[in-house]
Structure 1
């Protein structure tokens, strides 16, 4: 099955479940804490949904989520495959190009060495003829240019649905917005300039509490506290001129508390 077929099959199953539930997109949004526009894209096959959304819809319809999650896992693996294949292709191409260039590089290196020796002899001869005992000045070393910033596994929409730790987006991450729900639940919007992506995190929460990160393009990623007291969402794109924000809700509570919006191009992310 090709990638388009896998996405289409998953979207068809989601659409069938939506129809079986009798819920509108607005009602799905209220019951699952995902945006109405996100559900419209997911069931129409325009965007790959997060795993939690697929599982939530299945359980909402009293359906075993295992077959749907198997389809989701298959497509998720296909989404990761092109990046690995592209990396392998680039290495093979680089290896193929390096072969014919090796003799030419050696000739250039020998020519450079001979030229340096000739220049050194000329400088010493000039110093001897001029009566100077001082050796010629050594050439100044060229400055070494380094590129700052962590190496990341993705940027912008390529990060959608990925784990921020596995993509190394946490290396330069900062908390740019915060919020809370009485009592004690803390909401954070985390942002990585290197990945140009963001994610949501909640702490001191109860099992069943939900956190959702959104952007102004209508995309959303979410997760639920299954155990312990904290959880973070998958990544979402954070374009320079777009906005991102995080919302959270207590178990079985349709009301949500949200952070303020963060626009990367208008602010410098500060360390918490």
Structure 2
């Protein structure tokens, strides 16, 4: 079976599940925590949905998720099997005369220094003036409604100037429902925090974020808690001039 056939079968099955739920795209957007534009691409077969979205849609439609899992995995395996091989390495070129080679090397080093310095400056300026936007996958999720309590040991992110900590918090969302979110403390401008949500024991997940912070602390959006859902909090210190490997996640809870 070709990847197109496998992907088409999955998309057709997802459309049938949506019909069985009797819900509109806007209704599913709120329940699956995925934008309606992403759902449209999943139902048309233009892109592959993550497993938590497929699983939750199946549960809403009363579908056996084990059968769904096989169909979803088949489409993914076919897609990976048809990915193009990397281009072969180019054939070695004849060696240039020594004097010309040194001249070209000197010109390359000078160009790299000039443009590398400009690139670093521009990169820092851009990173400070326009941080990356939040993930569209959770744009409709609520924000934390209070302080909450940390439920697993926090993680420390190593940086040259500071050492922020990331915590997984359980409390109330601003909609009043029990929710989980990620929190970063001891942060500096540009540090980031995000929340991973899994419905299959951490084998796959939906990432909400990253959310850049401009103060001493910040949070991700929140997600409703549930008996079969696991969460973990993650964060990093992305600026190259301050970073010494500062990235980490808590355990799942």
Higher helix share: 1
TM-score, length of structure 2 as denominator length: 0.46
Name the TM-score, length of structure 1 as normaliser.
Answer: 0.43
